[in-house]
Amino acid sequence: MARRRPRGLLLSYLLMVAVCLVAFGLYLGEARRLVGANYTAMVTDLVRAQEDPDRLQLILDSLLDSPDRIHLSQLNELLWRIPLRIQGLRRHLVRSELEPEHYAPFLDELEYVESRLPELEQAIAHVGGDDDLTLQEGRRLRELGMDLEEALAWSYSELNEVLHQASADQRRLMQRLTLAVAVLLLMLLGAVGGVLLMLYRLYEQSDTMRRLSLTDQLTGLNNRRRLLQEAEQAFSRYERQGSHLTLLLLDLDHFKHINDTYGHPLGDEVLVHFASALRNCARSMEVIARMGGEEFAILMPDSDIAAARRLGERIQQAVRDMPLPEPANGDSLTVSIGCDEAKEGDDFEKLYARADRRLYRAKELGRDRLEGSFDHPLPASYSAAAH
């Protein structure tokens, strides 16, 4: 369970990173699409309006050269369209985020154009048909046209520059905003990552403390507390399923002599080797624990007394064959074992007490013995002295 939690934290963090990246990608795409969008319609109208001054000049030149109805119709249509374009640009500018002082002079110039358009209309009112323009009328028409053309061209050109500058400013603002969002997002991910890292370390420390509280520090085997926990679960299964449950208690013979003769460091090394021998002999499903000192226990779920006897014999032989570290390599080591199988109505304390009595009997009968409630008792000569 403790290992699943850090994995869950990591997956949650990776999921959050993925969601943040997707959200930032959508934001960036939308920002690029919308940047300058406030001015798009205005710029479009302005680009179309910038064609009007050149068209006005061209039509007036054609009309002065040949005052026919086609040129007159074109000019009237243009004079009708120019005020509409000016009104549209005025509405866009008023609704925009631009400061009025940035565009007010150009609107004033366009209002001047609007005020002069009626004069141009009057000047061309009698043109067409068989009427001819006098030299003075032609000069007046050309002066009005040039004046309006210059005013329109200048206003539209300056407005175009203002709009491009505003669009560029908005683009820079959006870039800075995007950078700020990215930095904040990285800071958020960093902060959350730091919190998750601290939680992960807390879980690791908690798991380490839990394992240390259930593990014998010297041998790495389970300790008494872990054995009691496993025994509680094993007895629950035993009562539900009616299966077998057996306990072995093991005690190294004359271990005090090794400690007294060669020192406790070498004695600790012997205990580590003995723990390794127990692991090699037992199955993975069996619970091996150091009870304290040189006393060990093996809890065997789903195993009867015959299986316990076979395991005990393997352990005894492995201990006899186990070389001791120098300078104790000239000595030999044996182990006494007591085992018993759980009965109906038992709990761990009762089973442990019977196995402990078996172990005590093995010690009394000469050590290096395996004692248990076997169907076929071991011969009296079965001891260290017999082999």
What is the secondary structure of 267-321 as a DSSP string?
HHHHHHHHHHHHHHHS-TTSEEEEEETTEEEEEEET--HHHHHHHHHHHHHHHHH
Q: In the chain, what percentage of residues exceed pLDDT 70? A: 87
- The amino acid present at 52, given as its one-letter code, is D
Output the pTM of the full model.
0.53
**Which of 122-126, 209-213, 278-282 is modeled with the greatest confidence?**
278-282
Asked whether the bond before 105 is cis by omega within 30 degrees of 0, the reply is no
Whole-number CA gyration radius for the chain: 51
**Beta carbons of 58 and 149 less than 8 angstroms apart:** no
pLDDT band at 126 (very low <50, low <70, confident <90, very high): low
What integer is the mean pLDDT of 142-159? 87
pLDDT band at 380 (very low <50, low <70, confident <90, very high): very low
Q: What is the distance between the alpha carbons of residues 150 and 112, in angstroms, rounded to a whole number?
A: 12
Q: What pLDDT is attached to residue 384?
A: 40
**DSSP conformational letter for 39:** G
Q: Is 367 left (phi over 0), alpha (psi -120 to 50) or beta?
A: left
CA nearest to 299, candidates 368, 220, 228:
228
**pLDDT tens-digit readout, 95-120:** 877 788 888 888 898 898 888 888 88
CA nearest to 86, candidates 45, 125, 145:
45
Partnered with residue 339 across adjacent β-strands are 248, 372
pLDDT exceeds cutoff 60 at 381:
no
Q: What pLDDT is attached to residue 337?
A: 97
Q: What is the distance between the alpha carbons of residues 134 and 131, in angstroms, rounded to a whole number?
A: 9
Q: Which residues are catalytic?
A: 294
The overall average pLDDT reported for the chain is 83
**Beta carbons of 297 and 247 less than 8 angstroms apart:** yes
Q: What is the distance between the alpha carbons of residues 261 and 12, in angstroms, rounded to a whole number?
A: 58
DSSP helix, strand, coil percent of the chain (3-state; round to 5): 70, 10, 20
Domains of the chain: 4-192 (1.20.120.1730), 224-372 (3.30.70.270)
**pLDDT tens-digit readout, 30-41:** 666 555 555 677
Q: What pLDDT is attached to residue 310?
A: 95
**pLDDT tens-digit readout, 221-259:** 999 999 999 999 999 999 888 889 999 999 999 999 999
